[in-house]
Amino acid sequence: MLLAAGSINSPKLLEHSGIGRPQILKDLGIDVLRESPGVGENLQDHLQIRTVFKVRNTPTLNERANSLIGKIGIGLEYALRRTGPMSMAPSQFGLFTKSDKALETPDLEYHVQPLSTDKLGDPLHPFPAITVSVCNLRPESVGTCHVTDRDVNRQPDIRLNYLSADNDRRVAVKSVQQARKIMTAKVLEQYEPEEILPGPTCRTDAELLEQVGNIATTIFHPVGTCKMGTDPNAVVDPELKVIGLEGLRVIDASIMPRIVSGNTASPVVMIAEKAADMIKRA
């Protein structure tokens, strides 16, 4: 049997099946089938800090999406030519770089979008602006994901604990400072960038860190809640078999012991392909 419900629902289903931390299961009246203290632990994610800059002398999707004529134009462009905003990925530009020159490999990833909002889900701004998102690729903050009810339809308690690690807070501040510096590049002068978020009044590290908590959001890369390994907190072994059980493998991002330094989609495909090879050999 294969379990591939993702880093939130795979530990949830294991716990509802009696596999997990005994105290959590007993408190909910769930019979303990297998003690596995790592289930729902080790939750990691990339935190995306969304800096926003108002621009001039260039159009952005803000104006088109806020206009009825603009929306019609976007729809027609895609319907007739399969081009335009509806054919594009959300981010038009990406960049891997370092928060510190002393690092051997990049620890920051940028996603730049020709649109902006105060927060995800809000309407786009009525003025032309871009979003310069940046995330720490190697966060040290670790959270948990556990069930809180015997009803399998209830969502688990998800605690990401973003920025709980000292180094994550340091990198968050440095990444905002770096984004600001990028927007002062001479080639961008013609667009007269004006910082909207976090806002030019945030100058000290403490002020920036506080505002990061207001403008940052998940980048939807949760991993680690059924981690692979041989230590006491490992949930699956190196062949992705749930330790202590026969006939059950977990095959999704939850088995990653540590989050990868980039997007998680391709690594998850690799995990699935590797698992397929192991299953065929069995």
Q: Yes or no: say if 55 and 195 are a contact pair by the CB < 8 Å rule.
A: no
The residue annotated as part of the active site, out of 16, 46, 125, 221, is 221
Structure tokens at 235: 């949930």
Sign of the Cα torsion 142, 148, 153, 155 reads negative
* 221 is known as an active-site residue: yes
Exposed, middle or buried by CB within 10 Å (0-12, 13-18, 19+), for 114?
A: buried
Closest CA relative to residue 268, chosen from 218, 221, 217, 236: 221
Long-range contacts of 58-61 (CB under 8 A, 24+ apart): 58/128, 58/191, 59/128, 60/114, 60/115, 60/116, 60/128, 60/129, 60/130, 61/85, 61/113, 61/114, 61/115, 61/124
- Other CB atoms within 10 A of residue 121 CB: 7
Structure tokens at 265: 């989609």
Taking the C-alpha atoms of residue 34 and residue 155, their distance in angstroms, rounded to an integer, is: 22
Q: Round the CA-based radius of gyration of the chain to a whole number and report it.
A: 22
Distance of CA 88 to the CA centre of its chain: 20
Residues in a beta bridge with 82: none
Taking the C-alpha atoms of residue 2 and residue 249, their distance in angstroms, rounded to an integer, is: 5
Structure tokens at 220: 């939807």
Structure tokens at 163: 């920025």
The residues carrying an active-site annotation are 221
